[in-house]
Amino acid sequence: MKRHAVSSPGVIFTILIWPWMKLISVLPFFLLYGISDLLSFLLYRILRYRVSVVRENLSRCFPHKSLQELRQIEFQFYKHLGDLFVETIKGLSISAYSMRKRMVNIDQHIYDELNQNKQSSIIVMSHCGNWEWICLMSQLSCKQQIQCIYKTLSNPGFDFLMFKIRSKFGASPIPMEQSLRVFASNKDYVTCNAFIGDQNPSAGNSAAWVDFFGVETAFMWGTEKIAKKFNWPVYYLSSFKVKRGHYQATTVPLCLNPAETEEGFITQQIAQFTQREIEAQPFAWLWSHRRWKHTK
């Protein structure tokens, strides 16, 4: 099976940053969440990290909520953002036992049946809950090869860091720009191919425009085009935060026969499933990213 090899992180990252990431990752969870609390306070109260973006996004999606309700979601979001940071770093050293305990795959039977039927599939997620831990959990739970599609980071050091975390238990991270070539090379294997469905496209003129929270929103075509090309069934995976450091992943069918669908149907479904997931637990979405920077 063809796999992607990550580039070198560089001397500066290796010497000055990598040891600290490793050190943080071995800290017990109670200390990590102490760091999370401090980080959340700094981002929200001191640095005001993207607060204007968060508020604009929340107001756009929940126009009927009161200002008090929006501020409560905002506060909870920054708490969750701190948790996401330390939990992601923890992925460098977390044990398989702890990972299975903290990210529970509720619908494992779906993946077992797909593997038994030798059927490759596409799994769509959003920036809800903890998508990095889903990548870690997935290869522990699934017998088929997990291929996680990701956007390459501009900094080679941090790109290397995220690659090492995502591939810790055997999942195969694949840069978005190489995904079609790798899929074609590995089409004779049973694979489970994970996409983040709410990624912002780089340009609006080549995007799929769909209804998302009542607003025409640019979504990427990639997932739908690949699903149609290989006629792989598409499932949507939701990540629900049960409590701090504990999540549940649930999976439902989104489209079982992509080749027979009209253009745009799958992408609109991705938007609708993402919206439902956000509405179920509003604070757990990544409100700080500029989701509506493109206009039609």
**Which domain does 254 fall in, by range?**
11-284
pLDDT digits (tens, 9 = 90+) for 22-67: 999 999 999 999 999 999 999 999 999 999 999 999 999 999 999 9
Please check whether residue 71 lies inside any domain of the structure: yes
Q: pTM of the prediction?
A: 0.94
DSSP H or E segment with residue 175: strand 172-175
4 lies in some domain: no
Helices (H), the chain: 11-12, 18-25, 29-41, 51-61, 67-90, 96-102, 108-116, 131-141, 156-166, 179-185, 222-230, 265-280
Q: Is the Cβ–Cβ distance between 9 and 161 less than 8 Å? A: yes
The pLDDT value given to residue 204: 64
Within a domain: 5: no
Whether 116 maps to a domain, the answer reads: yes
Tokens for 206, please give them.
């080549």
Report the alpha-carbon distance of residue 71 to residue 54 in Å, rounded: 10
Q: Does residue 2 lie within any of the structural domains?
A: no
Rounded Cα distance between 161 and 146, Å, is 19
- C-beta neighbour count of 173 within 10 angstroms: 22
How far is 132 from 148, CA to CA, in rounded Å? Answer: 10
The total of structural domains in the chain comes to: 1
Residue 270 included in any domain: yes
210 forms beta bridges with 217
Show the DSSP H helices in 168-264 as ranges.
Answer: 179-185, 222-230
Expressed in percent and rounded to 5, the helix, strand and coil fractions of the chain are: 50, 20, 30
For residues 139 and 109, is the Cβ–Cβ distance under 8 A? Answer: no
**Contacts of residue 212, Cβ cutoff 8 Å, sequence gap at least 6:** 219, 271, 274, 275
Q: Is 118 left (phi over 0), alpha (psi -120 to 50) or beta?
A: left
Collect the ranges in the chain with pLDDT lower than 50: none
pLDDT recorded at residue 5: 66
In a domain, 294, yes or no: no
Q: What is the pLDDT of residue 7?
A: 74
What's the chain's Rg over C-alpha atoms?
19
Report the share of the chain in percent with pLDDT over 70: 98
In a domain, 6, yes or no: no
For residues 112 and 155, give the distance between their C-alpha atoms in angstroms, rounded to a whole number: 37
Q: What is the pLDDT of residue 86?
A: 98
**Mean pLDDT value across the chain:** 95
Q: Hey, how many other C-beta atoms are within 10 angstroms of the C-beta on 75?
A: 14
